[in-house]
Structure 1
Amino acid sequence: MKITQQLNNPSNTSIQQSSPSFINEISVIQLKTGGYGRGRGQRLNQLNGPVGIFIDDKKNIFIANSYNQRIVERKYNANEGQIVVGGNGQENQLTQLYSPCGLSFDHESNIYIADFASNRIQKFDVLV
């Protein structure tokens, strides 16, 4: 309850640095409830079960969209996303995802996806 009150009143919130910083900038992005404000669904301006995100240096957002079995990239200030991995149904084949729940990138722009229901981590080549 105290955290909720502090988040609702940001003038009372402060950040103190007590160790070497590894985060240079923190951005808070508030999307309307239910995807991109268009309700729950499968269209490219909708999400269904977003459970993990990654924000790149260009402020593009990559979303592990678990119930739609896909990773969606939403370019900074775009109105809708594009599928970068998955979207081919719910199975454990190499081109499919089955409840992706997390993602990360390496320095060569490979994306690593935690594919929950398939009990695997998948690596994909994605040009960002």
Structure 2
Amino acid sequence: MSKQALPVVDLNAVACCSPIAVRPMDVDQAAVVAPMFKALGDPIRLRLMSMIASVPEICVCDLTPAFDLSGPTISHHLKVLREAGLVDSERRGTWVWYRAKPEAFRQLGALLEISATPASGGTA
């Protein structure tokens, strides 16, 4: 896996995107959204995201025991989710608490909406 740093996603830039069923994304829009999908493309991160999104907030101390991974590895995966704009975190004492960013998932959901009809033209 690449050690390349992921940029923090600007969710306002994602809001500009029409559903992909309406019109193709341009290069800049795809560059904004791709880190979110990349972050969710890992089974560990997808499972972490599911655990975080299923409650209002969760402590890292409750996430770590659910995996057969070291604490630093879990922290890395959480950092990727945070940098992709999918979760917020807040340090309280020695623990970090995580919560899903509903606006990120609303935007991803709108992007993936397939019930929308194309604005013009069709295929033969």
TM bin, normalised by shorter chain, reads under 0.3
> Which structure has the higher relative contact order (CA within 8 Å, separation 6+)?
2
For normalisation by structure 2, the TM-score amounts to 0.23
For normalisation by structure 1, the TM-score amounts to 0.23
More strand by share: 1
